[in-house]
């Protein structure tokens, strides 16, 4: 009888230690994902910070391109107000954030394409510097989004695997969304 009690205590102890380790592993992966998300927000913020500079410079050269400039300004405001709660990562909130950021990127692309009509602006050193910084931002955005997707993948896999999925369900760890390609992203752009 005493031996059975010891065996049960050992089994319960092993399960408890495994459960604690699994829980702590989920927390670690969740924090890695939150950190990766912060990097995504940082690069989006850097792009948003560049927008007023590039808009002001283009505005000086292209007074009649007000529609394009207004679209960029409105998209920047919308992107700046879009947020995601890192504790929850609600799918709709995530989709709205991604849509706002995509709108800003698309309006910036239209602005840069409209600059083709202004040879003096295209040769302006300040514009070229801003354009290079913006291109660098877009590359960093892609890199950080990929890193976020990788951390979300590791986290999502860990909470879905059995038997750790039992601990995940018990403590409310839920699947997180990924950044996905826009519809039509598989086709090369016609101009840029």
The DSSP-derived string for 2-15 is HHHHHHHHHHHHHH
Gap between the Cα atoms of 59 and 169, Å rounded: 54
In the DSSP assignment, the letter for residue 118 is -
Q: Which CATH number is 2-171's, of 2.60.120.10, 1.20.1440.20, 1.10.3720.10, 3.40.50.300?
A: 1.20.1440.20
pLDDT at 94 over 90: no
Q: How confident is the model at residue 153 (pLDDT cuts 50, 70, 90)?
A: very high
Residue ranges per structural domain of the chain: 2-171
Residue 118: per-residue pLDDT: 63
Q: What is the pLDDT of residues 43-70, one digit of tens each?
A: 888 888 888 877 777 766 665 466 666 6
Residue 84: per-residue pLDDT: 75
Gap between the Cα atoms of 78 and 44, Å rounded: 12
CB 100 within 8 A of CB 41: no
Q: Which of 130, 139, 136 is nearest to 51 (CA)?
A: 130
pLDDT at 25 over 70: yes
Q: What is the pLDDT of residues 164-183, one digit of tens each?
A: 999 999 999 988 888 776 65
pLDDT at 186 over 70: no
Give the residue with greater pLDDT, 120 vs 37. 37
Q: What angle do CA 69, 71, 73 make, to 5 degrees?
A: 70
Can you give the length of the chain in residues?
A: 192
Q: Please report the sign of the dihedral spanned by the C-alpha atoms of residue 100, residue 102, residue 105, residue 110.
A: negative
In the DSSP assignment, the letter for residue 182 is P
Residue 103: per-residue pLDDT: 82
Q: pTM of the prediction?
A: 0.68
pLDDT at 106 over 70: yes
Residue 61: per-residue pLDDT: 64
Query: Across the chain, what does the average pLDDT equal?
Result: 80
Q: How confident is the model at residue 191 (pLDDT cuts 50, 70, 90)?
A: very low
Q: Which of 163, 161, 185, 165 is nearest to 173 (CA)?
A: 165
The residue to which tokens 């083709």 are assigned: 116
Helix axes 2-61, 125-160, angle to 10 degrees: 160
Written as six digits, the tokens of 189 are: 């752009």
């Amino acid at each position: 009888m005493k031996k059975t009690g010891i065996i049960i205590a050992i089994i319960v102890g092993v399960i408890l230690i495994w459960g604690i380790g699994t829980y702590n592993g989920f927390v670690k992966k969740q924090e890695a994902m939150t950190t990766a998300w912060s990097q995504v927000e940082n690069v989006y913020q850097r792009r948003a910070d560049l927008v007023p500079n590039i808009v002001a410079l283009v505005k000086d050269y292209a007074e009649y391109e007000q529609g394009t400039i207004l679209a960029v300004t409105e998209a920047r405001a919308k992107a700046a107000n879009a947020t995601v709660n890192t504790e929850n990562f609600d799918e709709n909130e995530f989709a709205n954030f991604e849509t706002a950021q995509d709108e800003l990127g698309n309006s910036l692309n239209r602005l840069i394409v409209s600059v083709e009509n202004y040879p003096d602006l295209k040769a302006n050193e300040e514009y070229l510097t801003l354009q290079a910084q913006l291109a660098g931002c877009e590359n960093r955005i892609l890199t950080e989004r990929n890193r976020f997707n990788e951390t979300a993948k590791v986290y999502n896999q860990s909470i879905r695997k059995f038997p750790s999925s039992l601990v995940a369900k018990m403590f409310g760890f839920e699947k997180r969304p990924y950044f996905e390609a826009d519809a039509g992203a598989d086709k090369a752009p016609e101009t840029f």
